Structure formats: C-alpha cells, structure tokens
Structure 1
Amino acid sequence: MKQLKILLIVVLATHFCLAQTKEFRQLDSIFNVLYQQNQFNGSVLIADKGNIIYEKGFGLRNETTQKENNTNTIFELASCSKQFTAAGIVVLKRQGKLNYTDKITRFIPELKQWDKVTIYDLLRHTSGIPDYIASMTDNWDPNKIATNNDVIQFYANRKDTLRFEPKSNYRYSNSNYALLASIIERVSGKKYADFLATNIFKPLKMKNTFVYNRREKPQKIDNQAIGYVWAKKSFQKVTADDPKYGQKSVYYLDGVVGSAKVNSTVGDLYKWVNALKSDAFFTPEEFAAMTEITQTDKGKNIDYGFGLDIRKGDNKFTYGHTGNWDGYTSLIYHDQIKDRTIIVLQNFNLGAIPFNNIQQLLNQSPLTPEFKKKVSLSESVLQQFTGDYTDQEEKEDKHRITYQEGHLIYNTTSADWDMRFFPISDNEFKGIRQGGADAVIKFNRDDKGKMNMEMLQNGRKIGFGIREE
C-alpha cells in the first residue's frame, strides 16, 4: 500500500509538471512572437493560485552594452509607482500623523487656492487639480530639472483654478500623486525615497525596489533597463529625450516623484502583490479602504482606489495599474478571486501585452490569437502600396504611405504620425502601437484598378483613401 501511495504521488507530480510545462510553452510562444515583431521587450511574471508558471526576460536592457533583460532586471514603473505613494499615505494614517479627510492646505499652505481639496481627493483623482505634465510643457525652462517643490511653487505662483469642484468628478491627474509625495515628505520629515524604503520596501524584502531619478541624480545600477523609443523616421532605439525623438519633458520633469520614479523587478512586485492579497502588510480595514469603489457627488462610480484601478462585481475583484513614461511601459494586475497575477515590465514604449491570451490560457478557454504573426513579403511587393491616398471627404489632408526596413510607415500630409505597420497577409498590415490599440491597414484595388486603403481600429473603419496615380 505504501509503495502504491508513493507511485501515485510520483504520477500526480509528473502530470502537474507536464501541465505547467505546457502552459509555459504556450505563453513562451506568444511572447516570442511579440518579441520577434518588435512588440515586446522586457520581463514578465505570471502566477496562478500562488505558483509562478511563467517568468522570463526578452530583448536588450541596454542598447549600448548589448546586455539582455532577465527576470531580475530593474525597470522604471512609470504610473505603477502611484500605488506605493498611496501606501505611504496609508502608513502615515496608521501612525496617526494624518487623516484622509485632511485638507491638503494643512500640509501645503502655498496652495491656498485649492483649500477644498482633501487627501482623499488626491488619492482618488477627484481633486480637479490640473496635470502638471500638461501645465508645465510650455511654461517651464526645459534646461532645468523640476522637483516636487518646483511643481508646488509653479501652481502657487499661477494660482490655477480647479478643473471642477472636488468630489464632483473623476479625472486622472499626475499632480495628485506628486502632491501626495510632498505630503509624505513634510509629514514624515524624510525624503520620499527614504520613507518608502524604510516603511515599505525593506519590510517586504523588496531588495531591488527604490526611487530613482536617472537624469537628476544619475547612478550606476547593475542590471538596469534603459527606456527606449524609436527615433523618428528610423528603427534606431534611443532615449526619449534624444534629439532624434525630442520628448524634452522626460528630462525636465525627471526630478518629480510620487506619480512615477519607483524602479523595481517583476520578482519584487510579486512580493508586493502577495502582501496586498494576503493582508500581510496592511490590515483588512486598510486594504478595504485602498480598494473601495466610491462615488462622485453626482453618484457616478469611481473605479480607482488608492493608486489602484479597481474592478468589482459578481464574483469579480481585480486591482492593479498600468504605466507609460520615458520609454517604459508597465502592468501590475491581480485577480483576487482567481488568485492570479500578471506583471509585465518593458523598456520600449511601443510594447504590447497579450492580456486576453494570458487569461484564455489560464482559464483553459479556446485561444483566439490576440496578435497575428508577421508574414514575409519582399520589398518590391511592399513598395506597391506606397503613395499618397486621398479621402474624398477630406481632400486637403492626405494619407501618406512610405516604406522602410520591411514596414509600411503611415503619416498624413499635415502631421508626422510615424506609425509603423508590418504585413500579416498579402494586403493587410498590423500597426505597432502601445496600449493594445488594434490598428490595421487594408489595401485593395477598386473596379477602376485604383489602389484603395482602409484604416481600421478595433475593427472599425476610421480612415479611407484612394491612391493618386
């Protein structure tokens, strides 16, 4: 009987390993396709029911050294940083140093014009405060790196009015979390980075997680991923502030923390998710406040908690966040009901995430390919689609299709969109775009033999043109 039990355990263990291997291979196939098509460059960790079933790095973390991403590579989290800023506020609340209902002018008296705004409003984006990224774009010296104090002084001098009455509406604003970081510093008497390290990262043994301003205070960091974009009209990867791309804001806003600037690894973030889901760090009451769906004064649901996007319903409870800044894209997602975690960190701004396919595989549902594979077409075939296409309803602004390095490039005569498309059939081309937007261009000849183009987004026609011959 004992031998039979041992044999049964071995058989079950072998079957479990084979099942895991199958999932790994399926996921690996999907991510490899994306990597080969310039749609993925980074690290990913996927866990189901407490077990990591897929963890891997793809592509280069540094184009100069040619070193590769791996499961321990450190990435800037962009807006995924906000949940840690919110966590810092929860800790200060626990310590009795503030209340969520406190007005922000208690801590930042310089912003007296916003005396109706509370900490709750900052956390849930119901403040009406304008976004500093947009406000400072044309009103800041691009050669000077701004800090949180600069943001406060900027708005104190301008005396901007609120976009709406606090609690009457929800509008995402990076300013909310920059101000929360400043409140953390003023209440605790510590730098934002030091407070998070002492009170969150170290207790959770997140050894590779820290706040880092790579332009304001550059350091040599082992296994760090550099954020990249494609240079305009080129397939060369450069940093976003490179003149070949020209996004100056990532330079002069590099000193602002709270809305971004936390750096981490997929493994450390998995520790964070495990702490959230199990009440290992926050009390059940604290976690409930962080993940509560509230309402505006007008009765509209706010699906945003404390630095977390929240979705709740019948047998549904998920939370997480996305980020996109300075050549980095990120996703932290957890399904509390299914005990499922998806963490994706990328150092390429056009990176895609096969979220639906991951869910289908883990749910053991039929797999509907989310991203079609690139097909091989010769340069001569691709060149036959180039030219200017005129929409009869908008004749002045023409669609312009050019060819470059195996791709068709989309612009218009009035704007440089620099969108890149690769072939997925003899006459269909898939757009390489961030954020999951499903852009496709189709080409066909009409009854008169003229080449027509049709642009689709998520299956809906958004553009049409006839080529000028």
Structure 2
Amino acid sequence: MRLSVISTLLTGFLLFPSANSFGLLLETGAEQEQIGQGSNSIAVESQTTSSVSKVAEIKTLIQTAIKDSPQPFSGSVILLEQGKPQFELQKGEGISQDSRFVMASLSKQITATLILQALDAGKLDLTQTLNHYLFGDAEGKNKALKGMDAGVNPSADALNTSQYDELITLHQLLTHTSGVDKLGKANRFEPGSQFEYSNFGYSLLGQVLEKVNHQSFAEQVAQFATRYQFNGLSAELGSIEAIHAKVPSLAVGLQESEVIAPADLVLDEALLPAGGLIASAPAYAAFQHLLHSGKLMSAKSYQRMTTAYTEIQFLWPNMRYGYGMRINKDDGLVEYSHTGYLSGYMSMTLHYPEFNLDLVMLENLSLNLNDRARVFELHNQIRQIIRSQLLLAKASNVKP
C-alpha cells in the first residue's frame, strides 16, 4: 500500500557522527511493530581508517537504499567495524541517537545470553528438563530417559495437565525444537524431532531464569545492563503509552494498516524474554559487540550459542538456528543474525565474524503483513548489500 502522507512525513534522513563511547530484529507471531513519521535530516559521516574500504561502500549503499526505499521507514541504524561505529542513521519524527525501541525477537539473544551465563555459573544444565526447573521435577528427566531407552515416548501416556511434556529440555527451548504448548495441552510434536519457532518457549526460559536466579526477569535484565554499561537497554512493563510517559526516549510504535496509527501493544512478563525488551541501537550494538568478542560468557558457551543445531525455513535460504541466533554460511561467509516483528516495531541484527562487522537496525513502524515480501524488502536489500561487498572483499583479499 502506498500512503502519500508517508512520503510527506518521512522526508530526509539523519546520519549522525558516531559516538565515542558505547557504554552508553520477534518474528511474526508474538512480535509485531510500527513506523515513526517524518523528520528533518542531516548527513555526517564519521572519519575512520577504513573510509576508502568496502565499509565506506557499504554505508553509502545502505544510506541510498533507505533514502530511495518505496516503503516508509522510521528508525535507527548503526554499522560497526571492530566494535567501532562507522555509520549511524536516524530517520523519522523525533528519532535520535538516544531513541529506544521495543526490540521484538532480538530480545531472544539477550535471554539466550542470560541462560548461558547461568550455565557458566553452574545453575543450569541444558540437557535437564523444563519440568525439573519449573516444578522441581527431579525425576522427570530420569523418566524421560528411561522412556527413550525403552523405545517409547513418555508423552504418549495420559496427558499431565499440571506439567509440560517431560522430554522437553532447555536445549530444545533455546533451539525452537521443543514443540511446547500451554499447560493442559498435548505437546505439538515429539520434543527434539523438528523446528517450530516458539515465542512461548522463550517465555518459559524467562521463567526458568526467575527460578534459578530468584528474581524477576526484568530485574535480571536491569542488572545485566548495569553490569556491562548497556545504557539504553531495559525491561519495562505496561502499555507503550505508559512506558513512554516514564521513558520519553522510547519511540512510540506505529502500525500500518488502512492508516498508520499507534500500535496497541502491551509489554507483559510473558513477552519480555521472547520479544518485549527495549534498547537503543547503540546499546544493542554494544551488547552484540561484547557478545561476539567473547566477553559475556565462556568460550564453550559461545560455541554452543553459535552452533547450527537445526535447519529452518525462513525468508533467507539455507538458514540454521543456534541459541537465539540464526546462522548462515553460504559462499563461505559466516553470518549470525536475527530479525524481529511486533506490533509497532521491526528489527534486524547481522554479524560477520570474519570481518568483525555488525549491523543493528531498530524501527518503530511495522508494515502491513498482508504483503510479507514488502514488509521485509528493505531488510533483505540491506543484508544483500553487506554480503555482496564482503564477498567482493574476500574475493580480492582486501580489507573490508
């Protein structure tokens, strides 16, 4: 749908100089997002040692793609090389470097990180059952293993409406292979047998963290943000209107349908671990840099997180899933990514370890889902811009 009002509102774009300090993408399902309206814009490129490299080409192409996109865009984009910001762009009414956004499914990477930190602290075993942690089911795992040894599926027994399928492990929740359904319902499939994206599964991981750390998930996120100085990362509860009143930097999410209007979104405890966390683009970029620098967990846990456990069907071909992370290795280029869509917000993150290059893209406009290709057209275009330039760099054996 072409909305003439958008072209008027979303004129120009902001490209700010990079900040010197960094202390300072839910998928369709429980996630959805919206648009920020027009703004005046200024373009300034930060000076870096790679200004004549492929990174310079990448930022020029991204800038042009957003400027020329036929779809409305409101949000914040940041590109990092070696952890240093090379390019920052803000576009939309009231959008600035400090603007915060509901991250949608990028929240899953924070949740997976907290799980792996608990693992490193000896509080969790990823092969242990969900029931063990939520209900103190010390025998649940033993019964499940006996069932597997006997060649039977314990979940085929009479449905236990007070617990989840006794075969479900934390590993399966992290990889969306658990098939978990609400209490009182039969599992969707045999745990571990297939991939099915599950926001509910990540909500349960949040509950596990509350059990083992003896504090709310929101409090854990606050401590995490303080510990690593991720200013701009937080977990808030309530309607977007209410949160914006106490966190004015939160960009109000807009949903495109017949008209563009504020999204009717409420962040509750169940949504937080799966898609309800809030961050500015610099804050999430700082998190992503520390994550891939090995500073948030042990090397063994990071390897677990970035291992491709299962194939998945996604907009991009040949995708696999680790822990809160999509993985692609087409053409010999390793890519770790995630995207998000929630009423009022969209998001995307990309990391290329060979080049230590990161992109974070947070938006406060969710496009109408009646045309999926249109919704994710700009995400796909920006990803292809980066991939093509990095592949050229690999082919010519030059610095990106």
Change (3 A) 1:55 1:302: closer
Change (3 A) 1:214 1:365: farther
2:307, 2:176 → 1: CA distance? 14
Say whether 1:332 aligns with 2:349.
yes
Say whether 1:39 aligns with 2:72.
yes
Contact 1:101/1:118 (CA < 8 Å) preserved in 2? Answer: yes
Aligned counterpart for 2:231 among listed residues 199, 207, 210: 207
Change (3 A) 1:129 1:255: closer
1:357, 1:95 → 2: CA distance? 39
Match of 1:275 in 2: 290
Contact 2:237/2:266 (CA < 8 Å) preserved in 1? Answer: no
Match of 2:372 in 1: none
Match of 2:211 in 1: 186
TM-score by length of 1: 0.59
1:264, 1:294 → 2: CA distance? 28
Give the CA deviation at 1:256: 3.1
Match of 1:289 in 2: 304
Give the CA deviation at 1:334: 0.3
Contact 2:78/2:88 (CA < 8 Å) preserved in 1? Answer: yes
Q: What letter is aligned with 1:187? A: V
Secondary structure, aligned partner of 1:342 = strand
Give the CA deviation at 1:31: 1.6
2:100, 2:266 → 1: CA distance? 20
Match of 2:385 in 1: 358
2:326, 2:175 → 1: CA distance? 10
2:173, 2:236 → 1: CA distance? 23
Q: Which runs of 5+ in 2 are unaligned?
A: 1-46, 136-160, 312-317, 368-374, 394-400
Give the CA deviation at 1:285: 0.8
Match of 2:33 in 1: none
Change (3 A) 1:325 1:115: same
Corresponding residue pairs, total: 303
Say whether 1:349 aligns with 2:366.
yes
Contact 1:239/1:326 (CA < 8 Å) preserved in 2? Answer: no
1:314, 1:361 → 2: CA distance? 10
Say whether 1:105 aligns with 2:128.
no
Say whether 1:114 aligns with 2:139.
no
Secondary structure, aligned partner of 1:195 = helix
Give the CA deviation at 1:222: 2.5
TM-score by length of 2: 0.69
Aligned counterpart for 2:324 among listed residues 307, 330, 334: 307
Secondary structure, aligned partner of 2:348 = strand
Secondary structure, aligned partner of 1:293 = coil
Say whether 1:59 aligns with 2:85.
no
Give the CA deviation at 1:23: 5.4
Give the CA deviation at 1:22: 6.4
Q: Cα RMSD over matched residues?
A: 2.9
Change (3 A) 1:111 1:87: farther
Change (3 A) 1:214 1:251: closer
Contact 2:325/2:337 (CA < 8 Å) preserved in 1? Answer: yes
2:176, 2:299 → 1: CA distance? 23
Give the CA deviation at 1:326: 1.6
Match of 2:263 in 1: 240
Alignment deviations for residues 104-136 of structure 1 (CA, whole Å, 9 cap, x no partner): 111223752411111111111110114xxxxxx
1:83, 1:287 → 2: CA distance? 12
Q: What letter is aligned with 1:330? A: S
Alignment deviations for residues 416-460 of structure 1 (CA, whole Å, 9 cap, x no partner): xxxxxxxxxxxxxxxxxxxxxxxxxxxxxxxxxxxxxxxxxxxxx
1:254, 1:129 → 2: CA distance? 18
Contact 1:229/1:327 (CA < 8 Å) preserved in 2? Answer: yes
Q: Which protein has the bigger helix share?
A: 2
1:280, 1:254 → 2: CA distance? 27
1:225, 1:58 → 2: CA distance? 12
Q: What letter is aligned with 2:167? A: K
Change (3 A) 1:256 1:273: closer
Say whether 1:96 aligns with 2:138.
no
Q: What letter is aligned with 1:303? A: R
> Rg larger in 1 or in 2?
1
Q: What letter is aligned with 2:297? A: F
Secondary structure, aligned partner of 1:303 = strand
Match of 2:154 in 1: none
Match of 1:169 in 2: 194
Match of 2:30 in 1: none
Secondary structure, aligned partner of 1:329 = strand
Give the CA deviation at 1:361: 7.0
1:175, 1:38 → 2: CA distance? 31
Match of 1:453 in 2: none
Give the CA deviation at 1:337: 1.5
Q: What letter is aligned with 1:208? A: G
Aligned counterpart for 1:30 among listed residues 34, 57, 65: 65
1:182, 1:90 → 2: CA distance? 15
Secondary structure, aligned partner of 2:163 = helix
Contact 1:77/1:345 (CA < 8 Å) preserved in 2? Answer: yes
Give the CA deviation at 1:302: 8.3
Alignment deviations for residues 355-410 of structure 1 (CA, whole Å, 9 cap, x no partner): 245316744869xxxxxxxxxxxxxxxxxxxxxxxxxxxxxxxxxxxxxxxxxxxx
